[in-house]
Amino acid sequence: MCGIAGIHSPGSTPPRELLQAMIRQLHHRGPDARGVWAQGPIGLAHARLSIVDLEGGTQPMHSEDGSLSLVFNGEIFNHVELRRELQALGHRFRTRSDTEVLLHLYQRHGDSFVDHLNGQFAIALWDARRERLVLARDGSGIRPLFYARQGGRLLFASEVKALFADPALPRRLDRQALGELFTCWAPLGGRSVFEGVQSLPPGHLLITDAHGTTLRRYWDWTFPAAGSFVAHGPRQEAEAAAELRERLIAALRLQLRADVPVAAYLSGGLDSSVIASLIRHHSDTPLRTFSLTFEDAEFDESAHQQALVEHLGSEHTALRCTRADIAAAFPRAIGHIESPVLRTAPVPMMLLAGQVRQAGYKVVLTGEGADEVFGGYDLFKEAKVRRFMARQPQSAWRGRLLERLYPWLPHSPTAGGGLFARRFFAEGREHLGRPGFAHLPRWTTTQRCWQFFAPELQQALAGWDPLSAIEANLPAGAIGWEPLAQDQYIEAHTLMSGYLLSSQGDRVAMAASVECRHPFLDTALIEFANRLPASWKLRGLTEKHLLKQSMAGLLPESVRQRTKQPYRAPDSGCFFEAGRPVDYVAELLSPRKLADSGYFDPPAVARLLEKCRAGRALGFGDNMAFVGIVSTLLLHEQMVDRPPAAATPAPLAALA
């Protein structure tokens, strides 16, 4: 895992001083080594976290004849197999690194080299003979890559703070992106939260040459057309469960490849338990696990974690996270995330990554992606019930199914299955046949945060419709998929790639120089799962049915059959001590600060502040709004008012 940066500057050679300033901003992503190279119109920079070929993987790396140059952030898990294939074709290698494999693959296959990769990556490759820059990002969007144009130059980097090392690049938050984030949890369509800065979408290539710049998708989630599944009985289901287990084992073994020790996160839920169990039973890797515990019983899963630790015999470390810990670390987390967030959940993950690093580990496996791939979220169950209710809206017993949703939530909107719940989940029924139907309750709830925007911002966003915006970017055949497939696709391309893998994943792990790997997001595994019938994923209202079947005999039944409880952390309550907001929150939410930034309406925020101070912010809406407002103002202070290029990178000990 690493940080990359670069400049394409036709007609001039990029200044090394600027490249060095850019890569200094990414020290936390790669504290082990640093490299800068510039020639002709291209400059590349790299900050290295050494994981594979510790001695020979230095970057930027060049082909033997010097015609190709490359920097790369991530891992190519099938690099061993690719190397053998290339050697059989006559290619000669100087190192054991996966980086050199990429150079030879491009020599052999051109742009289609990405079709051969099993990995998580952001790549920048310069083809000097063709004067051609190729940027590539993995299919799920695990590794970040941003770019911006300034004065005829193209700048790119793993994080926006590296782009802002160029003082000529404007630093402003994008108002449209704020509206999208305060609805869908992340900006849409390759937009970042900064004006003029784009995020290369997952599964895309960006190619710049003499003919201009082209953005092209090379991989995506796809599903069979609805009704194309033939009848499947118990025998076929059992065979599919066995195949799923073998595919999981194969993906896991690939992702355990490293020249450094590898650990795993253990939440107490099914997904991380699957990873830990497969490491124990199907690899030679010693099982070393890490988990979070909370002082609030509502969020704490320590009993489930400990039961699995004892079952597997893992060497385990649990980090107890308090509300005060979250408040203290929140500003630093926002500086790494580079985006507003609507939950504090990324902060404990950043603290846990620091614990992992202090224990001597650079790589950790997680269960991320299982819910999107195998239909695990309550949102999928909720959508199934809402579609069922819509067939007979007046049916009382159909409405009672709502009571089976969100059993883990103390203030669930479905509690009692009453009139409020039925009205809430009936909202948007007129959009029943549209692909975004499942997500409307979440988007509607989150978009209520707009009431705290300044009037000018509300006016600028007036008329924007998330349903239409999402559907405009769906593949042509998506309208013909099963409803669950549509729900999965949108979830994977909004919340997962835009928030979970970024704000709650890569950015907070790399704050401590730790690489997260996600076996459930193996591309071959995703393609296999997408071909499965919906009923093998969501059986009635039982989530991840086939995944649970595949783990029979490997997990305790209490874990294997446990209803999903999503990872959560305390929100607005973290920012108050003895009924008073912590100092930085009081300062940020002062009328003067709010007016100066111009994003939010001071009287509306004052009312929300008082509600949270009094402990009356019980629902999702108030908590999301409060955390979103505080994080937006922190981001403005850190990256707009005080550009990060002026900052000195913290030493690793301070980051951990």
What are the residue numbers of the active site? 2
Q: What does the DSSP 8-state code read for residue 562?
A: P
Bridge partners, residue 150, by sequence: 153
Those residues whose C-beta lies under 8 Å from the C-beta of residue 115, and which sit 6 or more positions away, are 109, 218, 219
Q: Which residues pair with 225 in a beta bridge?
A: 481
SS (H, E, C) 113-176: HHHHCCEEEEEEEEECCCCEEEEEECCCCCCCCEEEEECCEEEEECCHHHHCCCCCCCCCECHH
Please state, in angstroms and rounded to a whole number, the distance separating the CA atoms of residues 460 and 174.
11
The count of other CB atoms within 10 Å of the CB of residue 615 is 11
The DSSP H or E segment spanning 237 is helix 234-255
What is the spatial distance between Cα 439 and Cα 419, in angstroms, rounded to a whole number? Answer: 21
Listed residue (404, 412, 425, 349) closest to 563, CA to CA: 404
| Alpha helices, H only, 256-292 | 270-282
Contact (CB, 8 A) for 120 and 143 = yes
CA–CA distance, 391 with 466 (Å, rounded to integer): 25
Three-state secondary-structure class, residue 316: strand
Interacting residues of 398 by C-beta distance below 8 A, sequence separation 6+? 385, 388, 389, 391, 392
Q: Which amino acid is at 516?
A: C
Give strand pairing partners of 315: 288
The closest alpha carbon to 524, from 283, 142, 249, 335, belongs to 249
